[in-house]
A and B are shown apart, each in its own frame.
Chain A
Amino acid sequence: MSNNASINGGVGSGISHDSTKKHANGTAVYVDDIRVPENALHLYAFPSPHAHAEITAMDLSEVESADGVALVLTADDITGMNDVSPTHSGDDPLLADGKVMFQGQAIFAVAADSLNQARAAAQLAKISFKPLPAILSINEALAQDSFVFTPQVMAQGDAEGELKNAKNTLSGKLNIGGQDHFYLEGQASLVIPQEDGDVLVHCSTQHPSEVQTHVAQVLGVERNAVTVEVRRMGGGFGGKETQASPWAALAAMTAQKTGRPAKMRLVRDDDMIMTGKRHPFQISYEVGFDDAGIVTALDMTLVSDCGHSLDLSRAINDRALFHADNCYYIPNMRVTGLKCRTNKVSNTAFRGFGAPQGMMAIEEVMDQVAQKLGKDPLAVRQANLYNASNNTTHYGMVVEDNVAPEIIAQLKTASNYDKRRAEIEEFNANNEFVKKGIALTPLKFGISFTTKFLNQAGALIHIYADGSVQLNHGGTEMGQGLFTKVAQIVANTLNIDLEHIKITATNTGKVPNTSPTAASSGTDMNGMAAKLAAEKLIDRLRQFAIEHYGVAEGDVKFLPNRVKVGKQTFSFKEFVNAAYMERIQLSATGFYATPKINFDPETGKGRPFLYFSYGASVSEVEVDTLTGEAEVVRVDILHDVGRSLNPTIDLGQIEGGFIQGVGWLTNEELFWNDDGALATHAPSTYKIPTMGDRPDIFNITLFDNENMEDTVYKSKAVGEPPFMLAISTYRAIWQVTKGNLDAPATPEAILKACGEPS
């Protein structure tokens, strides 16, 4: 409904996600819902049964002659390059070539008339292996100097020297587990062959341009022969940033060789076994501090289990280092990142991208310091916060937009922290076995890709002669609401109702050379590109009005759903049609490159982020110290999204991110057998949180703030930061157990920590 006062669905309105009803009634189309042509082939990839082995012989003749089989693919059949590494490091073969590096690595693929036929045929393979010694843990990798990349150090001051001068010191270790993405929709690609050997790839990916690149590389063709389209994903969380390519490439090879459409969809077990996860980390530290709990020196090492290949591990480990300060100023700090190569599936991007592990490390240090001094852990945290004079990070970036102190102060009051902490102390004194814990943890999360060239985005907007608009940009929709937010931005900029903006699937043929929808930057970058495109159109339309109607610039006003030119008022539709009749171009591209950012890995210094997002949470838990069962009874969150583009979507992201983080730190335990096989590869053994795990009292408030940087409508990114709010839950449990509590804090881990001297 148009009205004259304001548009519907503009920036700041809490409208629901554009596909909400379609998600609910089943009409939202995912890759597996696309009706396949009758002669389509279905692929299955045969996973390595060994963690590390040479392939000494391979006889696939029975596979080839099995029922329904059209094609069997091995490394020898790849006409282009046998590599799907996102960083072109050459260590991510599409199909194993002579050796296997982890259990689950694809050795060959079968294309058959049905998935069942392909799976059944694959079992007929005769492969001989010569097993090789496998590295299956961080400690084994460290002992054998097995790394995927060189170490990174970030430092300021003199950590080593000041540790010697410190009034108090302590050292410790912390083990942090990985996490499966558990997107509800698994990896899936459908490839339709086109003329001249070209391919159209429908793919569930956060990074269509990378899928395009890898498919072209594997096929040995130019990228212009490959078009990738993504309408939506059923969740991504980083797991479809680099992990979507192999399946698209195998389906594309099949389409190219057979001329038939080809689909590859991993079943859940294969998806969990064959694709990368969040990096497990091992932290060790030595900290120096004064009697007030001010940290004067910190030397910390963050070691990650990267799995068998580099993938994005360098940037992920770096982001852990960038966040090892969290909100705290540490004048003498040295943090070292080591990236271990093990014979496991290659670990990859996952919401937070290393930052959660870095923050877990420093929050452990804060609690240990408070414990040693017998102080309130929150007081110690507050005493160490960045402030106006102490505002330089260990990587040399000045923290200019610090709102952590205000957020903590507001949340402390709103959540009644002091009173509840006192009540909990009393409760614990009166209860022998059930103990309560409370913790407040803040967060500061840097926004921008730390890989500089990725900080670019494009958009394409068409206005049709009837005044309707079609919107396209390089960002992908994975349920997070990006498409809705960008459409709101365009509605605002054109000053027309949202219902006239048609959202369209991401397509490499429309906007080229895009970056992944990752690093929380989807809206910041694509929203800004779309805004710039819309502004170009407004400028052109204004110029048209000036020339056609002979008015001054100030006499052209774009009002809600109408345009005022001098004394005349046109509906937007009438005005656009008039411009069309006068041969005005009604299509525009927009391009945005994030300003101000730089980082030099050689010196470990720079400004890798345009700005920081902030937040804080208070968790209260109840722990049964006889069994280790923990229940989160109340959570209060205050989170900074700048000027919210859409409070409904932002609250959803905060709630979902927090719960996913609680899953990582409590229930979600990946268990690897001694021979390197993942034993937890289905929901029957791997537990993600559900509705029932939502705390009974769950208060989420948006912090009143605007981005001091020139971001789109002064908003801030929201995708990843709320994940780290869950650290307060882990710290609240630790308040009960003390001791060495490994993450995830499963009941057994909690019981073990309870039994240790603190």
Chain B
Amino acid sequence: MYKFNFASPATIDDAAAQFEASDDATYISGGMTLVPTLKQRLAMPSDVIDLSKIASLKGISLDGDMVKIGAMTTHAQIASDGLVVANIPALAELAGGIGDASVRNRGTIGGSLANSDPAADYPAAVLALGAEIHTNKRTIAAADYFVELFETALDEGEIITSISFPVCKVANYQKFSNPASRYAIAGVFIAKTSAGVRVAVTGAGPYAFRQNEMEAALDGDFSAKSIDGITVSDDGLNEDIHASASYRANLIKVLAIRAVEAIS
């Protein structure tokens, strides 16, 4: 590891101010991606600002028909939290399938969403459930959040404070894990929401996206049969050392069918 300045502010405002005051700062939440990145010098920020001492970024609460999850909540906490399990069981299950036990106990939902790894699991849930991402400046709708590969709508220095998920008891997430890293080679989250069926895909493209054709078909008839005839194009899908684009296209459909079957 190289030398950098390290701070652990107690409030969001302090954290943002310190970010503003440094040349090239980064926030650290769980550090599951950032620390290896620093070790390999893929990023060399001058200042690392730790968000773990900020009490207001933690905790899970039920706010009307929304489950509000603090950005610094770990995957393990989400997986086992009574409120999440009772109100959005599919989200708890998704969190319980991230990485391995040590990743789940260090990694946070805010850190994951700010990083926006194309193979992360949460983006599929955020899109399918129509979550809201609250920051220290504003609230961003799920549909506007994911912009490009590792790029989000967040401004420089903007801090995710919490994420609000609408309560949704009928949903399911299916993923095809890389056997080594457990990242999603493809993952599909299907939710029956008040606005209709939502199908969101992660892992397969540069960033998470919704599969509109499947949504329309499932809105008409929520059954595996109704999406069986849909051909998923491999256009624009990821092609890398883990899988070809056409294999990912195939997985999207298979996983969607599995998710529908798990719900029905």
User: Chain A: residues with CB nearer than 8 A to chain B?
Assistant: 626-627, 667, 671, 679-680, 683-687, 747-748, 751
Contacts and interface: CB of A to CB of B under 8 A. Distances in A.
A583 B178 CA distance: 68
Interface of B: 176, 178-181, 241-244, 247, 250-251, 254
Given A627-B176, A685-B241, A748 B247 contact: yes
B97 to A, nearest CB: 14
Given A627-B176, A687-B180, A680 B250 contact: no
Contacts of A627: 176, 250-251, 254
A685 B250 CA distance: 22
- The CB with the most chain B CB atoms within 10 A, among A627, A667, A686, A687, is that of A627
A679 B179 contact: no
Given A671-B241, A687-B178, 20 more contacts: A626-B250, A626-B254, A627-B176, A627-B251, A627-B254, A667-B179, A679-B241, A683-B180, A685-B180, A685-B181, A685-B241, A685-B242, A686-B180, A687-B179, A687-B180, A747-B176, A748-B243, A748-B244, A748-B247, A751-B247
B179 A684 contact: no
A469 to B, nearest CB: 46
B192 to A, nearest CB: 24
B31 to A, nearest CB: 16
Nearest to B40: A269
A589 to B, nearest CB: 48
Contacts of B242: 685
B250 A684 contact: no
| Most chain A Cβ neighbours within 10 Å, of B176, B241, B251 | B241
A187 B178 CA distance: 27
B201 to A, nearest CB: 15
A733 to B, nearest CB: 15
B181 to A, nearest CB: 5
16 contacts: A626-B250, A626-B254, A627-B254, A667-B179, A671-B241, A679-B241, A685-B180, A685-B181, A685-B241, A685-B242, A686-B180, A687-B179, A687-B180, A747-B176, A748-B243, A748-B247
Contacts of B180: 683-687
A679 B241 CA distance: 7
Nearest to A688: B180
Nearest to A693: B179
Contacts of B181: 684-685
Nearest to A690: B179
**In the complex, which of the residues B178, B244, B250 has the most CB atoms of chain A within 10 Å of its own CB atom?**
B250
Across the A-B interface, the 7 shortest Cβ-Cβ residue pairs:
A687-B180, A687-B179, A671-B241, A626-B254, A679-B241, A748-B247, A684-B181
A680 B179 CA distance: 13
Contacts of A748: 243-244, 247
Contacts of B254: 626-627
Contacts of A671: 241
B104 to A, nearest CB: 16
A86 to B, nearest CB: 31
Contacts of A751: 247, 250
Of B180, B242, B251, most buried by chain A (CB within 10 Å of CB) is B180
A524 B179 CA distance: 38
A751 B254 CA distance: 12
Contacts of A679: 241
Contacts of B241: 671, 679-680, 685
Contacts of B244: 748
Nearest to B247: A748
A683 B99 CA distance: 13
B233 to A, nearest CB: 17
Nearest to A433: B254
Contacts of A685: 180-181, 241-242
A340 to B, nearest CB: 23
A671 B241 CA distance: 6
B246 to A, nearest CB: 9
Contacts of A683: 180
Contacts of A626: 250, 254
A751 to B, nearest CB: 7
Contacts of A687: 178-180
Contacts of B250: 626-627, 751
A743 to B, nearest CB: 16
A398 B57 CA distance: 76
A618 B242 CA distance: 30
Contacts of A747: 176
Nearest to B180: A687
Nearest to B251: A627
Nearest to A624: B254
A683 B36 CA distance: 14
Tell me which of A671, A685, A686, A748 has the highest count of chain B C-beta atoms within 10 A of its own C-beta.
A748
Contacts of B243: 748
Contacts of B176: 627, 747
Contacts of A686: 180
A627 B178 CA distance: 13
A692 B108 CA distance: 26
Nearest to B244: A748
Nearest to A684: B181
B154 to A, nearest CB: 26
A747 B176 CA distance: 10
B33 to A, nearest CB: 12
A122 to B, nearest CB: 13
A680 B242 CA distance: 10
Nearest to B243: A748
Nearest to B176: A627
A751 B247 CA distance: 8
A46 to B, nearest CB: 16
Nearest to A123: B41
A748 B244 CA distance: 8
